[in-house]
């Protein structure tokens, strides 16, 4: 095996029963459908952003489809994504749970991790203005700043709660140990970590810890950054700035093997009347009743496909088969390049060479 780091023992059993996807799931003081919308790729990181009109259409279509959890961040588009979400969804503010993030922003055209309390307070004020709201429902620390104890960053988030500017707090891409330290300072409502068939890091600690502590685990990139869909990205078609070019799983050394695994998933999904994305999402949601998913998309058709998984009954045997086909033991390449690993606090998994 080759991968991000040394393998660790899986912490806690994987749930053996499949939760009811139709039932609302707890997210701190809120109840939301198990599938929300990650808004990042409407402004940031993947491909060329859609037009303002197309982005607005996607957000409003999500609202019409029953989505209530919308996830953005100060980083996305260096503020542009928050402005978009605020402008389009502002008239519907009472219908949604609005999540954003601080601690990783754009400074002079560069991505900067800064978890100092004064920076968190300043970023929050900027986010509130861009979102056009008096309060953010769920405010995450986007990344742990290795130069700032998590207790200090969470203390600043707790001050925002006390001031009525934030209703609940969360963390993103941190380990179970860091989560417990943060939770001791102020109750953490949600932990947002990457989780999917091909990224199993939460199974090394945070899946069990969130279940134990009553914290929602919000899975980002649940369809493998577009690979676990019926239209996986063609790398030659992606613009140079697309972040997937820098991710080992998408390089020529690994991507063909990962596409072969995706094809095996497609062969499992088709006889059951499922798309690959629906099988991947159903697998994530089956990991526990405290697990939610926030896939992102620019396609209204794909959005409806994702949300439809809530009304599907996927046999446990099929989910188990999917988990055997694609896992941290079969995926090829690590999820981040070595230069970016110091930014990530999560438990790490191996990957097939």
Q: Which two tokens stand for residue 253?
A: 């050394």
Q: How far apart are CA 53 and CA 259, in angstroms?
A: 33
Q: How far apart are CA 158 and CA 42, in angstroms?
A: 30
Q: How far apart are CA 353 and CA 347, in angstroms?
A: 19
Q: Angle between the 300-307 and 276-285 helix axes, to the nearest 10 degrees?
A: 40
Whether the Cβ atoms of residue 153 and residue 115 lie closer than 8 Å to each other: yes
Q: How far apart are CA 285 and CA 131, in angstroms?
A: 29
Catalytically active residues are 76
Q: How far apart are CA 81 and CA 73, in angstroms?
A: 7
Among candidate residues 44, 124, 115, the one with its CA nearest the CA of residue 84: 44
Q: Which two tokens stand for residue 317?
A: 């045997």
Q: What is the DSSP letter of 15?
A: P
Whether the Cβ atoms of residue 189 and residue 158 lie closer than 8 Å to each other: no
State how beta strands 25-27 and 30-32 pair: antiparallel
């Amino acid at each position: 095996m080759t991968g991000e780091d040394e393998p660790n023992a899986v912490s806690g059993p994987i749930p053996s029963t499949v939760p009811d996807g139709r039932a609302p799931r707890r997210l701190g003081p809120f109840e939301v459908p198990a599938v929300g919308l990650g808004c990042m790729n409407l402004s940031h990181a993947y491909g060329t952003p859609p037009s303002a009109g197309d982005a607005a259409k996607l957000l409003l279509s999500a609202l019409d489809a029953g989505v209530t959890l919308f996830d953005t961040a100060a980083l996305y588009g260096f503020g542009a994504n928050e402005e978009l979400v605020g402008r389009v969804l502002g008239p519907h503010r009472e219908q949604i749970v609005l999540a954003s993030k601080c601690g990783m922003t754009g400074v002079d055209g560069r991505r900067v991790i800064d978890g100092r309390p004064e920076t968190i307070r300043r970023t929050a004020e900027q986010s509130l203005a861009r979102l056009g709201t008096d309060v953010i429902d769920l405010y995450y620390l986007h990344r742990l700043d290795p130069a700032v104890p998590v207790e200090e960053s969470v203390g600043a988030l707790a001050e925002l709660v006390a001031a009525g500017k934030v209703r609940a707090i969360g963390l993103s891409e941190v380990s179970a140990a860091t989560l417990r330290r943060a939770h001791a300072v102020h109750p953490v409502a949600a932990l947002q970590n990457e989780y999917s068939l091909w990224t199993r890091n939460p199974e090394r600690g945070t899946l069990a810890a969130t279940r134990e502590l009553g914290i929602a685990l919000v899975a980002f990139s649940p369809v493998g950054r577009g690979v676990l869909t019926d239209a996986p990205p063609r790398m030659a078609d992606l613009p140079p700035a697309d972040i997937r070019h820098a991710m080992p799983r998408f390089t020529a050394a690994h991507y063909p093997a990962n596409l072969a695994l995706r094809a095996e998933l497609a062969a499992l999904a088709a006889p059951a009347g499922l798309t690959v994305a629906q099988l991947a999402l159903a697998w994530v949601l089956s990991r526990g009743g405290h697990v939610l998913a926030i896939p992102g998309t620019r396609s209204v058709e794909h959005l409806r496909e994702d949300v439809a998984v809530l009304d599907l009954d996927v046999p446990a045997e099929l989910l188990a088969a999917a988990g055997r086909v694609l896992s941290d033991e079969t995926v090829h390449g690590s999820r981040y390049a070595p230069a970016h690993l110091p930014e990530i606090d999560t438990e790490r998994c191996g990957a097939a060479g």
